[in-house]
Every structure is written in C-alpha cells, then in structure tokens.
Amino acid sequence: MTFKSIIEEIENNLNKILGELSISDVKFTVEPAKPGFGDVSSNVSFLLAKQLKKSPKDIAEMLSEKYQHCSSTLVLKTKAHQSGYLNFFANWEKLSQMILSESHLHEFGDVDIGKNTTIVVEHTSVNPNKALHIGHIRNIIIGDSISRILKKANYKVNVLNYIDDSGLQVADIIVGFKHLGFDQESPDGKKFDHYCGDDVYVKTTEKYESDSSLENIRKNILKELEDGNSETAKFADKITRRVLANQLETCWNLSVSYDCLNFESQIIRSGLWSKIFDKIKEMNLIEFEDEGKNKGCWVIRGADKDEDKVIVRSNGTATYIAKDIPYAAWKLGLIDDPFHYQKYEKKQPNSRILWQTTLDSNESTKNFSGQKVITVIDSRQARLQKIITSLMAKFKSVPDAYVHLGYESVTLSSDTAKILGLDTDGKQAQMSGRKGLYVNADSVYDMLKEKIKDETKKRHAEMDSSDIEEIAHNIAVGTLRYEMIKQDLDKIITFDLTKSLSLDGDTAPYIQYTHARAARILEKSKRAPSINVDFSLLKEQAELNLIKTIGMFDMQVRDAVNNLSPKVIARYCHDLAVAFNSFYEHVKVLELGDESLENSRLCIVDSFKITLVKALDLIGIVAPHRM
C-alpha cells in the first residue's frame, strides 16, 4: 500500500468518531501535511465549529483524545494544532515497509479510474504541408502524456492523428507545385516537409498578394481535392503522404506513437456528413434561416444571434465545421463506421502497430471509437470545439463524453530565436507558418542534442561515442517534452534553449541527473538492493520525506487523470528529485560501518530510482544511468 493507506485509515476512523457523535454529511479533507503539521492533517475541526459551537482548536483536542481509542495501524499519535488543524504522526516503521515494498511491484502507481473502458485521445493533427514547429510540439507532448497517464489509470486508449489532407493549406502547396513551378524534390540534405513548409508554402502564399488569379486556381483545386478520382487529388495524396511520413519521423523521435491515422479526404468521401446532417435535422439541433444575413443557410444556434454558426451555406456547400461534426460522432461510435483499415507502411520504433483509414472494403475492420473522447486542440479553436462538445453531449446524452483539452501557444525567447536564426528585434518570437516565422521542431531537437553532446564529452572524455549519442538524445527529448508540459495548459510557454538545459531548477536534466546520481550510488555499493531490511533504522527527516514522496505516486496519477493535467506528473517528478537531493545532502548511504543501515538506505535509493523511472515514463522521458 502507498501513503494513501494512512489517509484512508484516518478518514475511516474520523467517520466512526463523527458517527458516535451523531454527526453526518461533513465533507472534511485528510491530506499530506505541510511542514510543522505532522505527517497528515485534517480540516475537520473547522467544519464542526459552527455546529458544535466551539473553537476549532477545542474540537481538534476533543477529536484527538477520541482518536486514541480507535484501532490504528499506521498512526502513531494525533495532536491538535493551535490553529485548529488535527494533525497525525505516522508509524514510519510500518508505513516505510509498506511503501518501499510496494514500489517494487509492476503495478505501483496504478489507479483504477477507467475500469477498462475505452477512451479516444486525438492529438497532433497538423496540416500535411509543412514540418512540425515548436508550437505543434506542445500539442503532441500534451496528447501523448495524457494517453500514457490514462493507460496507468486502467483506460483502454485509442490514440488518433487527424490528417487534414484536403484543406486550404494543402491546396496552397499544390498551387506551388502545379502552377508556380516548384520542383517536386527537395534540395539535397533538406527533409521534404521542411522544403514544403519553408519554401513552397510560404512563397506561394506571398504570390497571392501580387497575382489575384491564383485565388481562383486555389478554389478550383479545393473542389478537385474533394473528388478522390481527380488527378489533382491523386497528386495531393502523393505529396501529403510524403510530408506526413516526415512529420511522423519527428514524432517518433520524440517517443510519440499512435494507433490510427484518420484522413479528412476519406471522411469527406465516406458519406459520413450526409448521415450526420440528416440526424441533426431530425433531432432539431440545427435550424434553417428564412431571412437575415444567414438566409438560406443551416445554422447551429448560439447564445445570441451573433453566435449562430453556419454549417451549410445557402449554395448547399458545407463549412469546415461540417467535417468536424461527423468525425466527432465517429470517434464516439455514434454512427456506423464507413472505414476499413490497413497497416501504415512504416513501423513505429516501439513496435506499436499503426493503422490508417481506407475506403477499400477489402481491408481489415477495426474499432477505434471510444465511450469518451479527448481532443487536444489549441485554445484558439475553443468556440468551434464548444459547439461540437455541445452537439455530442446531446447526441450521447452524456455531458462530458466529448472533451476539448485546450492549451495556449508557445513562443521563443529572444535569445533562443537569435540562436536559431530568427531576427525578432529583441522580442519573443510569435510563430506563423504562413509567414515563415517559426522554428522547426527538428532544428530545436538538433540544437539541444549538439549542446548536450559537447557537454557530455567535456565531462566524460573516456565515454564511447554511441553512449554519448544515446545520452544526448534522451536528454534532448526529455528537455523538449518537459518544457512543453511543466506549465499549466492555460499559460503561454516561452521556450528558452539555454535555461531548459540547466542542471538546476525545474528542468528535465535536473531530474534526469538525479536519477543518474541514484544509479551511481547503487553501482558503487556493489550489492543488490533488497526490501528485506530493518525499516526501524530509517528515522532521519530527509529519509522520511523521500519515502513519503515515493508513496504519493498513485495519488499524483489520480490527480493528473481527474484534471487531465500532465503538469501534475511533471511536478511530481521534480518533487521526487528535490526530495532525493535533500536526502543525498543530509544522509550518507555508503561507508557507514553499519551494514544494516547501509542496506536500509540503499533500499530507499532503489525505490526512488524505480519510482522516478515509472513517473518519467508517464510523460515520455527516459532516465539515463549516466550524464
């Protein structure tokens, strides 16, 4: 059992005491205590003050006295704090044994919130006309981390990547290739997705300002893209598949993988829209406008007229939301699946099978829908997502069946922009793919990796080049991933290349270095750590703080799931590292002249190392043994 065991024991005993006092329906909390408040504390006394007409301190003293008569395994004593909190002090010999023993189990940290139900997480969903930039990476890392955390909470997770291969941005690069003479092969040494984004897309969009005839060409291309048999659609499919292949390489390099790729072009051609259109008309979820600015249109009513959303124009063409509505319904399994599935031509590095939709009825049947859907899309799409969320709630009669997980943008610090070749006049860099103001994720990764390789060579001149390469990769990926999730999702991130690599403070290298430090202690001990040790010897506050932090793993997982917040796990990893470094500074582990005490402390080091590896894995970060 974990630290939650002592909390549950206290909750049960307090409820028994309240029952004896004929008091019910008091929603008190029992939480890990702040310094100076024991090991666990409760606010129960404050909630009873009005009812019992006594001060919280007097009530805490009364409850403390009654608690002494309760059956207690993990609580050594209780004490009323002068502020009114009721504080509890753990029987650390028993609690340490429980926590450190359980930390060795494969299922340590598991919580059964999902009950093995299926949930869909859709993320990435970048137009296949350019390389992924640092802004896209926040979406990808949030989605991948949420998927990992949900699996830890016993959900069956289907991870989807929506490929918008028939939109305006794809039409733009087709204009570039077909009408502006861009070569279909990228210059030597340049990835095809970089070439499409940096050269073809940006330069084509610039041409629209000087050549108005290109607008009509683009409109015609958009129409031709909807016809899967047109030469334009076949050419676009060839180009976008090449861009997608490069985008996936970037994702795989960052330890991100998927279950299925869903192509917008196939959603359009599948007939899903006509089915869902008839259904939402039958359910009176949309209305036909007979007058006003939207005359002849089908609209979804907003809170007032200004918020009405047109989904079918007066000329009968569907707006872009008409693609999102049937896709959302498909993800929830609310309409028959028109797709078949084939394996993607390239294998993912972790051997996870990647499927892709197809309209070829000779291919496999699969089910990638879920009882609940989480869609990771940036906050600029909040209004559209609110409409879809509302529609899906009415379809499924479950208010939270469809969840939009929004997040704010990523900017580059002025120093980082300068390092990466952007002139921002000393300001943060706001990115725009259309204007070419962005930095490819590959470039940031490469820059991080080179800086780490140089630093590792300085520290370990004797190290093999392949080991340096592996360490540099793991730290570069860890750095990128950690920086994308350590902030609240509603906060804009300013990414700074230099600060993110610091071995001090709230960074991935700081946490990874702490793991390497623990690994080194175990290596130097030249003995296999064991859980068959004397736990009564573990009395130092730094030891107990570390054990307590280890024991809170499952509570942090639960918090992360309930709030859909990967930041919770990132913060927990940092807290673990801080607790271990305090332990390292205050407590000697080896060369004590007391083998029993050494073994007990090695047990803590080993449990910390195991727990940190598990926690980091939930946010896709590898814990190196050397740095």
Out of 143-152, 353-362, 430-439, 518-527, which region has the weakest mean confidence (pLDDT)?
Answer: 430-439
Tell me the pLDDT tens digit for each residue of 178-188.
999 999 999 98
Q: Which tokens is 98 given?
A: 């429980």
Q: Which tokens is 124 given?
A: 């990435």
> To the nearest whole percent, how much of the chain has pLDDT over 90?
75
Output the pLDDT for position 437. 63
Tell me the pLDDT tens digit for each residue of 569-612.
999 999 999 999 999 999 999 999 999 999 999 999 999 999 99
Output the pLDDT for position 323. 80
Q: What string of H, E and C letters represents the secondary structure of 499-549?
A: HHCCCCCCCHHHHHHHHHHHHHHHHHHCCCCCCCCCHHHCCCHHHHHHHHH
Output the pLDDT for position 413. 86
Is residue 518 within 8 A of residue 580, CB to CB? The reply is: yes
Tell me the pLDDT tens digit for each residue of 77-124.
999 999 999 999 999 999 999 999 999 999 999 999 999 999 999 999
Q: What is the mean pLDDT of the chain?
A: 92
Determine the average pLDDT of the residues in 472-501.
Answer: 92
Output the pLDDT for position 434. 59
Q: How confident is the model at residue 318 (pLDDT cuts 50, 70, 90)?
A: confident
DSSP string covering 558-621 = HHHHHTT-HHHHHHHHHHHHHHHHHHHHH---SS-S-HHHHHHHHHHHHHHHHHHHHHHHTTT-
Q: Would you say residue 341 has pLDDT above 70?
A: yes
Output the pLDDT for position 425. 73
Q: Would you say residue 301 has pLDDT above 90?
A: no
Q: What is the pTM of this model?
A: 0.93
CA-CA distance, 428 to 408, in Å (whole number)?
A: 15
Q: Would you say residue 262 has pLDDT above 90?
A: yes
More confident position, 42 or 224: 42
Output the pLDDT for position 139. 97
Output the pLDDT for position 17. 96
Q: How confident is the model at residue 503 (pLDDT cuts 50, 70, 90)?
A: confident
CA-CA distance, 43 to 34, in Å (whole number)?
A: 13
Q: How confident is the model at residue 431 (pLDDT cuts 50, 70, 90)?
A: low
Determine the average pLDDT of the residues in 481-496.
Answer: 93
Output the pLDDT for position 419. 77
Determine the average pLDDT of the residues in 354-359.
Answer: 97
Q: Would you say residue 368 has pLDDT above 90?
A: yes
Q: How confident is the model at residue 321 (pLDDT cuts 50, 70, 90)?
A: confident
Is residue 372 within 8 A of residue 396, CB to CB? The reply is: no
Which of 18-27, 307-316, 610-619 has the highest mean predicted lDDT (pLDDT)?
610-619
3-state secondary structure of 90: strand
More confident position, 228 or 108: 108
Q: Would you say residue 304 has pLDDT above 80?
A: no
Output the pLDDT for position 227. 80
Return all residues near 73 (Cβ < 8 A) that are at least 6 apart: 9, 91, 94
* Closest of 122, 126, 137, 132 to residue 484, by C-alpha: 137
CA-CA distance, 274 to 522, in Å (whole number)?
A: 63
Output the pLDDT for position 398. 83
Q: Would you say residue 369 has pLDDT above 90?
A: yes
Q: Would you say residue 433 has pLDDT above 70?
A: no
In the chain, the domains with their CATH numbers are: 4-90 (3.30.1360.70), 123-270+339-368 (3.40.50.620), 412-500 (no CATH)
